[in-house]
Amino acid sequence: MAGTDDQVERFLQAMAEELAIPESRYEQAERSYKSLGDWFHRPESTVRNFDPTAYVQGSFRLGTAIRPINDSEEYDVDSVCELKKLAKGDLTQFDLKQLLGYEIKAYHDAKGMTKPVEEGRRCWVLSYADGAQFHMDIVPALPNGMEQRLLLERAHFDVRWADTAIAITDREVPTYRQKTYDWPRSNPKGYGEWFKSRMAVVLARRKRELVESLRQRGVTASVEQLPDFRVRTPLQAAVMILKRHRDNMFAQEADLKPISVIITTLSGHAYVQEDTIAGALFSILNGMDRYIQHDGSKFIIPNPTDPFENFADKWEKNPRKAEAFFRWLNQAREDFGRAARAATLQGMNEAVSARMGAALSDRATRRIGGGGGLLRAASVAPIAPVAAIPSFGNAARVPTTPKGFA
């Protein structure tokens, strides 16, 4: 006899809560990039006249950031500094990188930061004090929305997310020191909006529920003013759980570890507004490989905001990465399938502890056994019936056209 639907959902909720980073970390990240933005706008700034705009990207933007596995690891806060009044024809990638680098180093010195500023392939890295336990990657960028819209329109692709596209620097491309219009592209704002669109119905409902809960406690709030990170949707929780499962499975094979943007993108496609973590997780695991294309010679996972970018491009150069992804997917199906069919809470724990981490799954089990509240009020949702939790097949499916593209 399998465990009840309530047990399965409560266990997954408890794991997501154990993985979740404190709200203070989101607030810390926001303060950090806003502080840097203020620095760029100070009267003495060498970039002030170029209208610099700093904003966060990556898992902090998506609400899928998870705690480090151990205290020796740092939170990686990815951010962008976009100079809105410069264009690609005005300077080289190298020039832009150095222009921002000068101000970032000046910020570092003015704030008395001790760890040196490091230069990455596409970014500058600010490492904060040891107690802060995080560093910030700052990607220099220029606007690229108009060019991106024209590029997508000519190919008859979806242009909904094009206007926030940016051009970025990459010191490994041949044109890095050449003045050219051929720059690497990105669109973290657009990707964030695409990801939000994949959970829009549930996100809006849960924000309304949280606002109502706050009002009942005498706290004035509105849906518009409520930060998205105050509410966790089943899609976000499922991505968090899958990322940690991946982390532990590839602890000894870091070079083969499936990248987060692939897991996040495929999860976003496969999620169909389920209102429970269990429903979301099992829909994602059952269906995420349907959104991987194969053109006869290579795998393709298009960037939803720029289908010309293939998130699986490294799979062609290193086929072991493709094998590793499907190996991970089959293992996740097996582990969470066994957890769903387990007769007891301890059986669920044992089904996933090897890949989720014994300490994490034990804490999740104790959290339920202790009878404490599992999630914030707006995160608690009705439980899906056991019949809605499917089993998993191990055969990889490789279709030709993923949903969500024009």
Collapsing DSSP to helix, strand or coil, 405 comes out as: coil
Rounded Cα distance between 3 and 183, Å, is 53
Give the helix/strand (H/E) hosting 381: none
Q: Give the number of other CB atoms < 10 A from CB of residue 106.
A: 16
Q: Which amino acid is at 134?
A: F
Collapsing DSSP to helix, strand or coil, 222 comes out as: coil
Give the helix/strand (H/E) hosting 400: none
Per the listing, tokens 């090897």 go with: 354
In this prediction, residue 272 carries a pLDDT of 95
DSSP string, 93-119: HHHHHHHHHHHHHHHHHHTT--SPPEE
Cβ distance 288 to 267 under 8 Å?
A: yes
Tokens, residue 343 = 């007769």
In this prediction, residue 231 carries a pLDDT of 80
Give pLDDT tens digits for 191-221. 999 999 999 998 888 888 877 777 777 766 6
Nearest to 274 by CA among 383, 363, 188: 383
Rounded Cα distance between 232 and 202, Å, is 10
In this prediction, residue 134 carries a pLDDT of 80
| Beta strand ranges found along 248-393 (DSSP E) | 293-294, 299-300, 302-303, 306-310
In this prediction, residue 226 carries a pLDDT of 57
User: 182 to each of 174, 179, 292, how far by Cα in Å?
Assistant: 10, 9, 28
Q: How would you label 53-86 residue by residue, b for 16+ Cβ within 10 Å and e otherwise?
A: ebbbbbbbbbbbbbbeeeeeeebebbbbbbbeeb
Angle, helices 358-369 vs 5-19, to 10°: value is: 120
Write the CB contacts of 100 (distance below 8 Å, at least 6 apart in sequence). Answer: 47, 81, 83, 124, 138, 140
The burial class, CB within 10 Å (0-12 / 13-18 / 19+), for 133 is middle
In this prediction, residue 401 carries a pLDDT of 39
In this prediction, residue 374 carries a pLDDT of 36
Q: What's the alpha-carbon Rg for the chain, to the nearest Å?
A: 22
In this prediction, residue 23 carries a pLDDT of 83
Rounded Cα distance between 303 and 195, Å, is 11
Rounded Cα distance between 38 and 50, Å, is 14
Q: Give the number of other CB atoms < 10 A from CB of residue 239.
A: 29
Cβ distance 342 to 260 under 8 Å?
A: no
Rounded Cα distance between 349 and 354, Å, is 9
pLDDT tens, position by position, for the chain (406 residues)? 344 578 899 999 999 999 998 888 888 888 888 999 999 999 999 999 999 999 999 998 999 999 888 777 778 889 999 999 999 999 999 999 999 999 999 999 999 998 999 999 999 999 886 556 788 999 999 999 999 999 999 999 999 999 999 999 999 999 999 999 999 999 999 999 999 999 999 888 888 887 777 777 776 666 555 566 678 999 999 999 999 999 999 999 999 999 999 999 999 999 999 999 999 999 999 999 999 999 999 999 999 999 999 999 999 999 999 999 999 999 999 999 999 999 889 999 999 999 999 999 999 999 887 433 333 333 433 333 333 334 444 444 444 433 333 2
Structure letter (DSSP) for residue 21: P
Tokens, residue 9 = 């959902």
Nearest to 132 by CA among 191, 50, 76: 76
Cβ distance 348 to 277 under 8 Å?
A: no
In this prediction, residue 129 carries a pLDDT of 65
